[in-house]
Amino acid sequence: MNDAVSSVNAGASEIEFWFDFASNYSYLSVMRIEAQAMQRGVAIHWRPFLLGPIFRALGFDNSPFVLQKEKGAYMWKDMERQCRKYGLAWARPTTFPRTAVLATRVALLGAQQSWIAVYCRRIMQLNFAFDRDIGSIDVVSEALGELGLPAQQIIADAQSDANKLRLREQTAVAAAKGIFGAPTFFVGAEMFWGNDRLDDALALCDTTATPG
């Protein structure tokens, strides 16, 4: 199976982008990674996964931002600052973290398609700018419809047993790679964690690209 890539140029280096639609800091990276990668001629491998199983394996039954009140209070203030910095719309979700299994299954199904980046941005906007329930069939169908995509067929394929298994396997791969949060980026074997490390990861891509 071929990996999905965006911004592919001959000789371009590549970045793996591991993200979760329920992750607030993933929102920041999803909204800006494609444009930045295109500027550098870097191919993006989109890797949607679920943080919940990762957290549970680490002994957490919820997001650390929920379990640690002080950390959570800081995070919400920081998100206001970061969204102002990047010029992104922001509305604190009334449910956090929000279940996003269906949206993630669709992203995994579409990771080899040309619509993956715009779909991911729309889902993130619905969650973190419009406070919509991205776990619902209605909201995911709406997002796909806005993009002119066959929502009913895509959701049916996303909900297939084979695709459900693929998402479980993808999340297991994330754990095996040592991922403990989102967003996480890989350039070769080098791992970078957090939205504030996207620039560092892309800078490393500049040094690893081969002449085209």
- Residues serving a catalytic function are 23
For 101, half-sphere exposure in the C-beta direction (CA atoms, 13 angstrom radius) is 11
User: Exposed/middle/buried for 161, CB within 10 Å: 0-12, 13-18, 19+?
Assistant: exposed
Structure letter (DSSP) for residue 6: B
Strand partners, 48: 19
For 5, half-sphere exposure in the C-beta direction (CA atoms, 13 angstrom radius) is 15
**∠ CA 117-119-121 to the nearest 5 degrees?**
70
Could you tell me which residues come within 8 angstroms of residue 143 by beta carbon, excluding any fewer than 6 positions away? 103, 119, 122, 123, 126, 134
